[in-house]
Structure 1
Amino acid sequence: MSTGATIALIVVAVVVVAALAALTLRPRMRRRRLERQFGPEYHRAVAEHGTPEKAQEDLEERLRLRRDLDVRPLSSEARERYRADWAGLQEEFVDAPGQALVDADELIGRVMRDRGYPADERDEALAALSVDHARTLQSYRSAHAVARKAQEGSATTEEMREAVVRARELFAELVEAGSGTPRPTTSH
């Protein structure tokens, strides 16, 4: 075998090995990127869809959905109005915890709509929120479930109190996003 043929064979072998390495690394890199961006929502999607591949397709679709939205920060006036509304909910909780929780859920929907998220179709809203607010979305899901129980009259006051605290996490992120103000911490 000539020196040229040997070099050509080595180059082809290196290209094949590099291509195989790229093909095996790409899915791992995709998974890591989605895990990092979606955090606990990634694992929830895997459990929901049954396989990482189906979950990743769903999460990629959520990213496409979010790219098509015109999500914007709130004006300073809107932020102040929503903060005042939340303070009113906290006061309302003392006398009517169930209603306060339902009102909190509705207030979050109004903030979502004002920010440019789809708020009318729940699944679409959660999918869009998961892109920007994956870390607090599970807290909101839990709070929403308790709000439904409260409407049915089957939630305890402690469940409702915890739900309001959990809902506040997403509320604070939605209200403060893009304002340049650090998000207030929630106390339990």
Structure 2
Amino acid sequence: RGPHGGHGLKRRFGPEYDRAVARHDGDVKAAERELDTLVERHGGLRERPLEPAERERFEARWTAAQERFVDSPREAVVEADQLLAEVAGARGFPDGGQYEEQLGALSVHHPNQVHGYRRIHRVARVRATGDGTRDTGTAGVSGTGDGRAPGTEDMRSAMVEARALFDDLLGHADHEPGRRHAQERRQSVSQDGSRSGHHLPRGFHRHQAKEG
């Protein structure tokens, strides 16, 4: 089962372990070989802390993207996807131009939040290509996963889930007591928007966004 062992990989990757097994159609050994390779390739990466000014600039851009979502959800998710790639690069992960490599490294160090990046990248890719083309490797299937273009609710939930990784990359948990608990609450936002996420404009959860 590789040098790290199945139980060790399960502990390390959490939900990403189950997703890897699903990608390999239930072949546990193949999934564990994939995850072992990711650990060997990216396990030694040391994340660079952000300067306060950097953190503030990234936060301002994310807030602007969320506000833009109300009138232009498609443009907002593209901006959020790009922003996650930039923040990850600033923290020392592979450049965002190498999406698969960056995603793999993030899955090793942020396994509980990385799926938010995968989701919003799929939605943004459909926005850019106009169809549900299939990505390879860990990226999965573009769009909603069933061949249809993402709707406003798909984009909204992708933004909410991506925000969890964004906060984790900004290092809020290391600087503000209680922020981790707030992040966990945000991850469990209900589909009807009954629980509000951090800094989300009112229309973001009230489904007032336009399809434009």
- Asked if these proteins are the same fold (TM beyond 0.5), I'd say yes
Q: Which residue of 2 aligns with 1:90?
A: 66
SS at match of 1:136: coil
TM-superposed CA distance for 1:123, in Å, is: 1.4
- The structure 2 residue matched to 1:145, chosen from 118, 122, 131, is 122
Q: How far apart in 1 are the matches of 2:165 and 2:173?
A: 14
Matched, 1:170 2:159: no
Query: Does the C-alpha gap of structure 1 residues 178 and 169 become closer, same or farther in structure 2, counting only changes over 3 Å?
Result: closer
Q: CA contact under 8 A between 1:72 and 1:115: conserved in structure 2? A: yes
Amino acid at match of 2:126: K
Q: How far apart in 2 are the matches of 1:93 and 1:144?
A: 16
TM-superposed CA distance for 1:178, in Å, is: 7.0
Moved more, 70-79 or 115-124: 70-79
Matched, 1:32 2:4: no
Q: CA contact under 8 A between 2:17 and 2:31: conserved in structure 1? A: yes
Q: After the TM superposition, list the runs of 4 or more consecutive aligned residues in structure 1 that deviate by more than 6 angstroms.
A: none
**What fraction of aligned residue pairs are identical, expressed as a percent?**
40
Amino acid at match of 1:38: F
Q: Which residue of 2 aligns with 1:126?
A: 103
Q: Which residue of 2 aligns with 1:49?
A: 24
What TM-score, normalized by structure 1, do the two folds share? Answer: 0.76
Unpaired runs of 5+ residues, structure 2, are 132-148, 194-212
Q: How far apart in 2 are the matches of 1:39 and 1:135?
A: 7
Would you say how many aligned residue pairs link Structure 1 and Structure 2? Answer: 162
Q: CA contact under 8 A between 2:6 and 2:32: conserved in structure 1? A: yes
What TM-score, normalized by structure 2, do the two folds share? Answer: 0.68
Amino acid at match of 1:156: G
Q: Which residue of 2 aligns with 1:160?
A: 155
User: Greater CA radius of gyration, 1 or 2?
Assistant: 1
Q: How far apart in 2 are the matches of 1:36 and 1:61?
A: 16
SS at match of 1:81: helix
TM-superposed CA distance for 1:155, in Å, is: 2.7
Unpaired runs of 5+ residues, structure 1, are 1-25
Greater per-residue helix proportion: 1
